[in-house]
Chains A and B, each alone.
Chain A
Amino acid sequence: MSSSEEWTHPGPDAVPATGAAPTAEQVIAGLKATDEGGSDLVQLLTPEGERVQHPDFAVDVTAEELRGLYRDMVLVRRVDREANALQRKGELGLWAPLLGQEAAQVGAGRAMRARDMAFPSYREHGVAWCRGVPPTDLLSMFRGTDQCGWDPVEHRFHPYTIVIGNQVLNATGYAMGQRFDGAVGDDGGEATMAFFGDGATSQGDVHEGFVWAAVYDAPVVFFCQNNQWAISEPTERQSRLPLYQRARGYGFPGIRVDGNDVLATLAVTRWALDQCRTGNGPVLIEAFTYRMDAHTTSDDPSRYRLSDELELWKLKDPIERVKVHLVKQQWADQEFFDHVELEAEELGARLREHCSSLEAPPAERIFSQVYAEGSPVVDAQRAEFLSYHAGFLGGER
């Protein structure tokens, strides 16, 4: 696929090809919103670990590359499980688990090039990994010692954004800048990725981002991880239509990819980024996946979803299918898997150790960097604060 014009998309009245056409009641009940998309779902590696072909998104991976993607996912999952456990031990105030979304994030993250820019929400630990953000840097916000633990310029990975949808407009503006700067047009061009959830697609900011990106041909890939839930609300609370089909209304391609398939996600995202960097404007990707854990460590999913659903999705585990494929192909032996496991253990230990070493910053941090050019009001308050604290014995309260 070389240009957005060539992108063939179902007509406005077409229903996704799921076999039998749905009844009107099904559509009205919003059942389409969570339908897997049938033949529209791009998949390259089945849950059973079989390689399958897709006419538009061929991808050639070497054994080494696939082992790399496997390793990424295992390590990212370990970071996630470790941080989740740290929260349970009271070491973190909160954690937003990514369990189940490793393939979506690693596929997208590994499709990016160094010069591309990423705007995450708050669950993109796997993308952070691919951007070279040390996993330990993810902890400070969740521990409450800081609000962004990494250098967003160095890693080209924006701070986590908590307010749903805000970053989509920010990403679009950044991409507009890339275009205005002449940084798009050929294979050496830049692109931007905006990450958000299915719930976020209801926010005005996200719609506005779509409009802006289309109008200005901004080189931005809108990467929606449809993990089926926005806290307690299923996707049909946000949309009647499969989310990827919305793109058509804004005038750019929308693709639904199996978000538990790292190869398909990689291929589709690479394609989309190439569209962007060569000047063809935005693309929406809906990575169809599942949040296997709670929304955050404060959430109780047993109140709103059935364990059957979870069991079903366990069969689609993004890591297992790669492992099966590697074994079947004889691309990896036990030694390799043991080695990755060992790496994961070490990473986990490093994370635990780092976490407890993260101290609260000095209280003056309250007043630091409120403004780029300072403010006499803040300066006066800092001075007052310090002298007030000096009044307590040894600074103790």
Chain B
Amino acid sequence: MAAPTVDRADAGAPAAVQTLTIAKAINSGLRAAMEADPKVIVMGEDVGKLGGVFRITDGLQKDFGEQRVLDTPLAESGIVGTAVGLALRGYRPVCEIQFDGFIFPAFDQIVSQVAKLHYRTQGRLKLPIVIRVPYGGGIGAVEHHSESPEGYFAHTAGLKVVTCSNPADAHWMIQQAIACDDPVLFFEPKRRYYEKGQVDTTAAPGPLFASRVLREGTDVTIAAYGPVVRTALEAAAAAEEDGRSLAVVDLRSLSPLDLGPVYESVRRTGRLVVVSEAPGEASLASHIAAQVQQECFYSLQAPVLRVTGYDTPYPPAKLEEEFLPDLDRVLDAADRSMAW
């Protein structure tokens, strides 16, 4: 599958190529999955008539009915806990958690049951559950609406955790997550929901649990995921004007992590900056840094640097610009890496 930044909208493009926002692309992916498999059901708060607070499930209840698109009572533990039972009964539930900060009432069900039933029964029980979570900051919201809790789930064995950064991935990855027999946490970069890109709805997608090099480079490798992938690409474009070549790897899968392409790139550049919105302490970014120094020790010309959210609760919205990794902080880290 081509990188989404590649422009393919020219005359002669196949009819299956559409320009969609990430939000619409997830919607079309959900629709395709529901059409393909009658066992796929969507459940969550306000997912029916309203189409979800971000309209990701818009129109699905109208077309698939109330038994396949469930407006659930307002209880996240209930949503995920009943999804476990539904999955045991042969359904493939796709749960929507309304915002990142509201996943915690369901935390117990996710880490105690969703993550462990397959293991405890040595494979006799399968849990093909997808839990969709709009995540991350940058939308000026009040508290609990801007968090990046993916690390808690990547930390938990038995769960798979993925995140998309562009419409093509959004469209395909949601379908692949639903088709996966393991539970998948599907993190959606909410501040990128309305960014457009091209989606080829016929071309076969690449593997779900794989990272992808979006941009080759020779000076510094940037590893990023979700909402900050775009930030990393913008930093790479800005750096190029200054004659500096940044490689950008979109991790896509956070658990399992596919660091192969990162290692390869680091072996070429000798430098790595990991970018993530989540606080850095005991984080995915820390883990990636440790893995890379272990695998690429002799290739590294500078320590691995991390550009992350700070180790504080998410601040009031008027300060989020200072909190979130931005272009300047990524470029600054690249400079520091080069200066080593």
Contacts and interface: CB of A to CB of B under 8 A. Distances in A.
Contacts of B144: 162-163
Given A141-B142, A163-B104, A230-B74, A381 B319 contact: no
B58 to A, nearest CB: 9
B319 A304 contact: no
Interface string B88-125: 00000000000001101100000000000000000000
B102 A381 contact: no
A378 B311 contact: yes
A89 B48 CA distance: 30
Interface in B295-336: 310-313, 315-320, 322-323, 328-329, 332
Contact of B143 (A162, A231, A366): A162
Contacts of A370: 311-313
A381 B49 CA distance: 45
B51 to A, nearest CB: 7
B141 A146 contact: no
Contacts of B150: none
B53 interface: yes
Nearest to B54: A298
Interface stretch (A201-209, A250-258, A264-272): A201-209
A156 interface: no
Interface string B201-225: 0000000000000000000000000
A147 B74 contact: no
Contacts of A299: 53
B50 interface: yes
B326 to A, nearest CB: 8
A381 B310 contact: yes
Interface in B259-315: 281, 310-313, 315
A143 B318 contact: yes
Contact of A145 (B72, B78, B313, B318): B318
A164 B312 contact: no
A231 B143 CA distance: 18
Nearest to A239: B73
Interface stretch (A61-69, A278-286, A357-365): A357-365
B312 A366 contact: yes
A146 B316 contact: yes
Interface of B is mostly: loop
Interface in B47-82: 48-51, 53, 71-75, 77-78
B316 A232 contact: no
B250 interface: no
A384 B173 CA distance: 38
Contacts of B328: 397
| Size range of the chain A interface in the assembly | 35 or more
A381 B318 contact: no
A304 B49 CA distance: 6
Contacts of A361: 316, 318-319
B142 to A, nearest CB: 6
B301 to A, nearest CB: 23
A385 B72 CA distance: 43
A303 B142 contact: no
Nearest to B47: A232
Nearest to A366: B315
A298 B313 contact: no
A360 B74 CA distance: 33
Contacts of A143: 318
Interface string A184-220: 0000000000000001101111000000000000000
Nearest to B145: A162
Interface in B165-201: none
A204 B80 CA distance: 13
A142 B318 CA distance: 10
A146 B313 CA distance: 12
Contacts of A205: 105
A366 B309 CA distance: 10
Nearest to A358: B318
Contacts of A237: 71-74
Contacts of B332: 388
Contacts of B315: 365-366
Contacts of B320: 144
A120 to B, nearest CB: 14
B113 to A, nearest CB: 14
B50 A366 contact: no
Contacts of B105: 163, 165, 203-205
B24 to A, nearest CB: 17
Interface in A287-320: 298-300, 303-304
A367 B315 CA distance: 9
B140 interface: yes
A274 B287 CA distance: 56
A94 interface: yes
Given A237-B73, A298-B53, A144 B46 contact: no
A93 interface: yes
Interface centre among B143, B313, B316, B329 (most CB of A within 10 A): B316
Nearest to A202: B73
Given A203-B75, A232-B48, A163 B101 contact: yes
A153 interface: no
Given A146-B316, A163-B101, A360-B319, A377 B51 contact: no
Nearest 3 A/B pairs, CB to CB: A144-B317, A360-B318, A232-B50
19 contacts: A144-B142, A144-B318, A146-B316, A147-B142, A163-B101, A165-B105, A202-B73, A202-B74, A230-B45, A230-B74, A231-B46, A232-B49, A232-B50, A237-B71, A237-B72, A303-B50, A365-B319, A366-B315, A370-B312
Given A163-B144, A202-B74, A378-B310, 11 more contacts: A93-B141, A94-B142, A144-B318, A232-B49, A303-B49, A303-B50, A303-B51, A360-B319, A363-B322, A365-B315, A377-B311
